[in-house]
Chains A and B, each alone.
Chain A
Amino acid sequence: MAYIVEIQDLSFAYPKEEVRALDHINLNIEEGEFLVLCGKSGCGKSTLLTHLKTPLTPHGKRKGRLLFDGQPIDEMENRVQTQRIGYVLQNPDNQIVTDKVWHELAFGLESLGYSTPDIRIRVAEMASYFGIQDWFYKNVADLSGGQKQLLNLASIMAMHPDLLVLDEPTSQLDPIAASDFLETVKKIHRDLGTTIILTEHRLEEVFPAADRVVVMDQGKIYATGTPEEIGEALRAADHEMFLAMPVPMQVYAKVNQSNDFLKCPITVRDGRQWLEKVCRESGIEPAAKGVSVFDPEEENEKTKGGGQGESDIILDCRELWFRYDKELPDVVKGASFKIRRGEFYSLLGGNGTGKSTTMSLICRLRKPYRGKIILDGKDIRKYKDTELFRGYLGVLPQNPQSLFVKKTVEEELYEMIGGSKEKKNVEYHISMDKKEAVAGIAEVTHLTDLLHRHPYDLSGGEQQRLALAKILLLRPKLLLLDEPTKGLDAYFKQEFADILTLLKEQGVTIFMISHDIEFCAAHADRCGLFFDGNIVVSGRPREFFAGNNFYTTAANRMARKYFPDVVTGKDVVRCLNR
């Protein structure tokens, strides 16, 4: 058997840390295999990946052996290693070195000292294979995030690696760009037989193509096997990694019926077939259209607090029109909507439809050329900056790092309210002690244990929570969130959702724009679909998603024949267990 990578009893600990980041890892990877590595953030999967690429391997105590093609990886010549192992990092922007697309494609080959005619052939090949020829001459600054990441992949593939390692390559991309990217990875695997190791949150997209899945937990390999086997294993153990699994697998695991005779479903299609069989077994008939499977009273109870009072409007946008320049087309075209006090409203929609622009109108970064925004009964233009941003609006930017100024989390929080001295100033005028306020916020956002860390040392989810904490110190009544779940894994998403629920209970209104259908379906009170500069449809998640065919959750697509208005995996489980 030809193993391309053999990991033999590998352990690793970061300097000054007691806990091992990797704990006796044993893993052999066959040539041409598609391996998906999953696990909750901080389980050591990124650390394991960096061991496969010597320039990235961190310092620390290491035991065990790692062989690449039968040779210890740290004894490999750097040139050979560069060429044979390709590594794509998470952030599309930071990996790009040069200013032109063609130059970026050639960068690796230049380093390896290829001649110009050779580079020309390779670059031409890559550009054709990845469909880059249309933007070959562009500046990298003009590319979209998806194109940037594709360029990174192509510039690695130009060196013809035998092993391709991808560390959460799609976490910064929108869903469409992400699935394009993953399709390309699958295509590389199919066409070229390159061995691929991938970590990824969007498991529903990669599981169907994966030969083997490895689940890691606390630095150890928890389970390994085909996606189906993993499903069975996690089900048996009732492991929390289940949150991250594709919806059909979650449903399969939680339904307490004896359906062991059926295989674990992976895709929505599998899920439909599985559900078909289960329902036939237990005599559930397909539901007629428009019939709700839920008790309406119970439903109302659930969404209470979600702005029942129609009249109590906190934000009223009336026919907003906006364009960036006189010459350019309109981006927001007559958008009108009302946000009720205390509700959680989420605005969904594709890229470039004007969602983010609409949000920048609400927080007064840009001004609509027609239309009005009424915040709490008063025109938004009449507020003073201090009034508006300290007490009314809290805006969480897409990139949390754009808020970080200080060296520790604690200083970061105090910075927001004008330093740690107990003195009232412009930036802090309520009677509560600052110390108390900071401690309270840290508790709400689960930052108490991290107060002495550097903000940049936090993981993505923790950084997100720190940014949220900073915004919350301003005591906003209306919280505006721009893609807060981007790049978060299932566990952090759940934690984030819990925080939002807590805030809602305290009367904060939440307005969120997002691509994350599953998250909105599970947690929002109302959802709106933004298209072509306008809100096309808006309603409770159940009505909203049940009405859509494509733009809906995996659970709905899977189960709509039997339960037309289920939107989450939990709903399906509830229906089946009844």
Chain B
Amino acid sequence: MSDTFSTYHPSLNMLFFVGVLGVTMFVTHPIILGISLVSAISYATLLKGWRRTLRNNLIFTLPVMIIAAAFNPLFNHYGVTILGYLPNGNPFTLESCVYGLVMAFLLAAVITWFSCYTDVMTSDKFIYLFGRLIPALSLVLSMALRFVPHFARQAGVIADGQKCVGRSTSNGNIFARIKHGITIFSILVTWALENAIETADSMKCRGYGEKGRTAFAIFRFDRRDGYCLAGMVLTFSIVLFGASRGYVFSRYNPKILVEGWPLTPASFCVFGAFLIFCMLPVILELASRYMWKRRREMADGSLIRSYRLWELE
């Protein structure tokens, strides 16, 4: 099942991820990062369930974070607050420690957002968006996506066939194995080229190569998408405006400088706007879940009522 935000127009999906990732990467403010990471994790949880999210985070994200946080102070020595000296004589500074931590959170947020991105931006949405820019590319991408699984399956069939004549890539000495592998590949290539002729025929039969080819897509830009876009543009411009005015400025070199904390009215607006922007998919999904729950309750209620009525008659 896909979430609500995925059903919005692909351009909104794309804009959302570009916006979120852009702000996260270029405004390295701790609170902005915090908001971004929390929203990313909540969205990932909605998309994949908490079990998978937790597993991904523990296995993949956490090690990356640790490495980033640990390596930065070991190799970077800027900053004015010296905490001590490393064995090789270089200073160990508070600034580089903090910056390492910031980087760790930044990486975590980006990784988590990308894991959501792959779920939301499916290949057909990607093709649709970029096919507008380069029409030929959209068909090429679509064909490539068709042929990769097709070839993979055929490679499996061929490998099975070869195994049954005693030539698998897992028997014989190393040379025999390589030879068997090459044979499988050679059969696959011959097969693919031979069959591509038929695909070309099929394309010609359906008028490929005629002038004025159009690109069809099943996506529609509805009024709903318009409202959502307006909300996104509004909150995002507040964030951009705030960032450009330096309300959420942050610097870690040579001295840590973090604006906007404690909260000022301006920074509060920026954080609030960014929170709404990041949480948009989560809000949409929860709203729709709530709506369905209400509907079900109402439906159940009316069922019971109608049952009673029927009983009375």
Contacts and interface: CB of A to CB of B under 8 A. Distances in A.
Nearest to B167: A389
A119 B216 contact: yes
Contact of A403 (B171, B187, B196, B207): B187
Contact of A82 (B145, B191, B207): B207
Nearest to A156: B206
Contact of B187 (A110, A120, A405, A416): A405
Interface string A200-238: 000000000000000000000000000000000000000
Given A96-B146, A98-B139, A402-B157, A82 B205 contact: yes
A111 B209 contact: yes
Contacts of A427: 166
A134 to B, nearest CB: 15
Interface residues on A, range: 35 or more
B213 A97 contact: no
B160 A397 contact: yes
Interface stretch (B17-25, B57-65, B147-155): B147-155
Contact of A53 (B124, B164, B205): B205
Given A97-B202, A397-B160, A111 B213 contact: yes
A255 interface: no
Contact of A91 (B161, B163, B195, B203): B195
Contact of A89 (B124, B157, B160, B198): B198
Contacts of A156: 205-206
Give the dominant DSSP class at B's interface.
helix
Interface in A105-144: 106-116, 119-120, 123, 139-141
B51 to A, nearest CB: 15
Interface string A376-410: 00000000011011100101011101111100000
A79 B206 CA distance: 9
Nearest to B135: A110
Size range of the interface on B?
35 or more
A365 B201 contact: no
A83 B210 CA distance: 12
A93 B201 contact: no
Given A95-B198, A103-B216, A389-B166, A113 B123 contact: no
Contacts of A397: 157, 160-161, 164
Name, among B171, B195, B206, B213, the residue most crowded by chain A CB atoms within 10 Å (CB to CB): B206
B164 A82 contact: no
Interface in B178-195: 183, 186-187, 190-191, 194-195
B244 to A, nearest CB: 38
B89 interface: no
B213 A141 contact: no
A108 B208 CA distance: 7
A115 B139 CA distance: 17
Given A103-B124, A365-B164, A55 B205 contact: yes
A402 B214 contact: no
B98 to A, nearest CB: 45
Given A139-B149, A385-B166, A389-B166, A113 B158 contact: no
Contact of A113 (B139, B142, B150, B210): B210
Interface string A140-157: 110000000000100110
Given A395-B161, A402-B161, 11 more contacts: A98-B139, A106-B216, A109-B216, A110-B216, A111-B207, A111-B210, A114-B216, A159-B206, A159-B207, A385-B171, A404-B187
For the complex of A and B, the 5 pairs showing the least CB-CB separation, nearest first, are A82-B207, A389-B166, A395-B164, A108-B206, A113-B212
8 contacts: A56-B201, A99-B123, A159-B207, A385-B166, A385-B171, A395-B161, A404-B187, A405-B186
Interface of B: 123-124, 139, 142-143, 145-146, 149-150, 153-154, 157-158, 160-166, 168, 171, 183, 186-187, 190-191, 194-196, 198-199, 201-218
